[in-house]
């Protein structure tokens, strides 16, 4: 069973030094079995995972089993392999099995990348729709400003005081200002300012 098991099986001393490993260690990490025996599990771990691996060994020294602990071990070629561990300690020895979950981790990372790519695509589509709506609204506001300005100019030419036309220009400019504020609020993802709205005509 030890020889034919498809998980990485090992027997280590209380300090985590490997005393016996099965053939799966060679398949996963590339080291010959003889080179692995005598090496520490902590030494094989990725530098960023060595502290957590040492803490897991301390847990075992307290006679507490390890279930589902995940770390990265460095293969002979320097690439990281993700291992999920189950281990117990007995008679000052550690008996452990590890499952190579590298492919699963890579698949999950690829799925996350594709989901993020999809979200970015959806955001770009939403921004394109928003930009079209903004252009339409701005065109309406600018048309109003230009129209009332022309009316004001015509009134001045006739000696009239274009008070109403100028008031309408100011109102249209205020709508344009509010539209710009909404755009800035969206681009900064800031909180929306809620205001009461009178629904009666």
Query: How do the pLDDT tens digits run along the chain, 201 residues long?
Result: 888 888 999 999 989 999 999 999 999 999 999 999 999 999 999 999 999 999 999 999 888 899 999 999 999 999 999 999 999 999 889 999 999 999 998 999 888 888 888 888 888 888 777 777 777 777 788 888 888 788 888 777 777 776 787 788 888 888 888 877 777 776 665 455 667 777 765
Give, in order, the Cα–Cα distances in Å from 59 to each of 53, 84, 97. Answer: 10, 16, 16
Q: What is residue 58's three-state secondary structure?
A: helix
Dihedral sign of CA atoms 171, 177, 180, 186 in order: negative
Given this model, what pLDDT does residue 73 score? 95
Can you tell me the distance from the alpha carbon of 170 to that of 152, in angstroms, rounded to the nearest whole number?
12
Which pLDDT score, from 0 to 100, does residue 71 have? Answer: 95
CB 69 within 8 A of CB 84: yes
The pLDDT value recorded for residue 172 is 82
Q: How many CA atoms lie less than 13 Å away from 50 in the CB half-sphere?
A: 9
């Amino acid at each position: 069973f030890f020889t034919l098991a498809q998980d990485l099986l090992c027997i280590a001393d209380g300090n985590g030094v490997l005393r016996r490993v099965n053939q799966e260690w060679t398949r996963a990490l590339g080291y010959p079995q003889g080179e692995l025996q005598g090496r520490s599990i902590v030494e094989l771990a990725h530098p960023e995972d060595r502290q957590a691996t040492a803490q897991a060994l301390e847990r075992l020294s307290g006679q507490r089993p390890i279930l589902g602990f995940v770390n990265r071990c460095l293969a002979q070629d320097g690439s990281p392999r993700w291992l999920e561990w189950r281990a117990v300690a007995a008679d000052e020895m550690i008996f452990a099995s590890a499952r190579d979950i590298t492919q699963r981790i890579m698949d999950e990372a690829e799925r996350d990348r594709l989901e993020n790519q999809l979200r970015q695509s959806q955001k770009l589509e939403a921004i394109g729709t928003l930009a079209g709506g903004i252009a339409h609204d701005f065109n309406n506001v600018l048309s109003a400003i230009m129209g009332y300005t022309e009316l004001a100019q015509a009134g001045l030419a006739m000696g009239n005081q274009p008070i109403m036309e100028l008031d309408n220009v100011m109102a249209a400019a205020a709508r344009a200002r509010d539209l710009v504020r909404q755009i800035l609020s969206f681009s900064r993802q800031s909180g929306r300012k809620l205001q009461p709205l009178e629904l009666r005509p």
